[in-house]
Amino acid sequence: MSQKKVHYLSLDTPAILVDMDRLEANIREMSQLATESGVKLRPHTKVHESAAIAKVQLEAGACGIEVGPIDQSDPMAERGINDILVAHPFYGEHKLEKLKRILSKWSKLKLTIVVDMIEQAEGISRIGQAVGQRVPVLVKLETGGNRYGVLPGEPVLNLAKRLCQLPGIAFKGIYAHEAGAEPTDEGVAKMAFEVATVTVETAKMLRREGFMIECVSVGASPTFRATCDYIKQGKFPEITEIHPGNCVIGDIMHVMTHGNIREACALSVLVSVMSASHPNHVIMDAGWKTFGAESMIERWDTPGFFWKGKPSYGSVQGRSDLWFGKAGAETGWLYYKENAKKDLNIGDRLEIVPNNATLVINIHDELYGTRNGSVERTFQVTGRSSGS
């Protein structure tokens, strides 16, 4: 990827940029694959947390959106998005009160909740009755990610039966999220096939037992392309929705897990060189408070992960000879690698694709959408810090 002259902003502080061409291309890819496969697209918005970007996705054909915690649904609904799925199960009176306020406040909102325990559903049932609604509920399957989820088979059937006995909710289907694939094309395709198989078999079992489920949802960022290919081949016609998320923005972590290619990463951090006094490195004006502290150390055994014992905190656009190998609170170290052209001067500006775009976006208020070297629009991070 060639380095381009950075001239869009006169700010002397780091800024978060979104390449509009790449963003739009990523949105088109997701929408086109879903359309070709005959499934609905419900993108997960936890990476960008921006209602404006979510609306671009909806305009491109998405049926609705997903958020992570319940808190993130409120700023999306406030800005006119009325079909939202809460992907993270939740529990506790504080969160249930938030659910009650959201349902009471936004009468046109279709808010679907994912659960994996009856205790979660009982609380939702109470809120549904209190506001005079039947809240749509999906059961989260455990398919190998070792996070949330009910084991397929009898555990899912037993939970479904209990859900249908609760007033104030409506059991609508099942939800699976692929994770932990071997980071190769073959590994990702294998994971997509295995999770789709388990999910579809679970859907068939529930339907044999008389459950009229509407939603069968799979398809994370690394796997949704393979899932769509399988569906186009005539496999897994029971799948109704896919829910990729991070690939709309991209970052180095998802490049490593085959969720993106490096050239499709739309987000970068614009930084300035603050000191070039050392012969072997320069200091820039961004550290943990800008990038977060994601070193991806769990992938330490990946070839090329370390350079001189240092992990990387991001990838410098157009400069493979630079290594972002150390971060402080407000500063970062860019090291000259072997045979590097030691040409950086104080005031020079660079773009860095971060390891974890979600971390970066969640600690900033605005994203600058750029095209051809100029700022085209500003995206507000409307869901910033709306975690639980």
Residue 6 lies in a domain: no
Q: Which residues contact 30 (CB under 8 A, 6 or more apart)?
A: 41, 43, 57, 60, 62, 224, 244, 247, 248
In this predicted model, what pLDDT tens digit does every residue of 176-202 receive, in sequence order? Answer: 999 888 889 999 999 999 999 999 999
* Whether residue 87 sits in one domain with residue 26: yes
Q: Are residues 264 and 193 in the same domain?
A: no
Q: Which of 188-197, 301-310, 370-379 is predicted most confidently?
A: 188-197
Do 73 and 86 form a contact (C-beta atoms < 8 A)?
yes
For residues 279 and 277, what is the distance between their CA atoms, to the nearest angstrom? Answer: 7
| Per-residue pLDDT reduced to its tens digit, 107-122 | 899 999 999 999 999 9
High-pLDDT (> 70) share of the chain, %: 96
User: For position 2, what pLDDT does the model report?
Assistant: 38
Residue 4 in any domain: the answer is: no
Same structural domain, 67 and 191: yes
Could you give the CA distance from residue 176 to residue 197 in angstroms, rounded to a whole number? 11
Farthest CA pair distance, the chain: 72
Q: Is 318 left (phi over 0), alpha (psi -120 to 50) or beta?
A: left
C-alpha closest to that of 352 among 329, 320, 387: 320
Mean pLDDT of 188-217: 97
Kindly state whether residues 353 and 326 are assigned to the same domain. yes
- For residues 280 and 366, membership in a common domain is answered with yes
Domain of 33 in residue numbering reads as 20-248
- 102 and 242 inside one domain: yes
State what percent of residues in the chain have pLDDT above 90. Answer: 86
**Which of 89-93, 295-299, 322-326, 362-366 shows the lowest mean pLDDT across its residues?**
295-299
Any domain includes 143: yes
Task: Tell me how far apart the alpha carbons of residues 290 and 285 are, in angstroms, rounded to a whole number.
Answer: 9
Whether 99 and 205 share a structural domain: yes
Which residue among 189, 214, 248 closes a domain? 248
Compute φ and ψ for 141, nearest 5 degrees.
-90, 145
pLDDT band at 149 (very low <50, low <70, confident <90, very high): very high
pTM: 0.93
Query: How many structural domains is the chain composed of?
Result: 2
End-to-end CA distance of the chain: 38
**Last-in-domain residue among 227, 248, 269:** 248
3-state secondary structure 271-333: EEEEECCCCCEEEECCCHHHHCCCCCHHHCCCCCCCECCECCCEEECCCCCEEEEEECCCCEE
Assigned domain for 387 exists: no
CA distances for 352 relative to 75, 228, 293, 323, angstroms? 29, 31, 14, 11
CATH number at residue 359: 2.40.37.20
Q: Which residue has the tokens 């050392």?
A: 278
Is the CB of residue 140 less than 8 Å from the CB of residue 175? yes
Last residue within a domain, chosen from 211, 227, 248 = 248
Count how many residues are written for the chain: 388
In a domain, 158, yes or no: yes
Per-residue confidence band for 4, with pLDDT thresholds at 50, 70 and 90: very low
DSSP assignment string, 93-144: HHHHHHHHHHHHH-TT-EEEEEESSHHHHHHHHHHHHHHT--EEEEEEB-SS
**Do 174 and 285 reside in the same domain of the chain?**
no
Check if the beta carbon of residue 163 is closer than 8 Å to that of residue 137: yes
Q: How many CB atoms lie within 10 A of CB 274?
A: 17
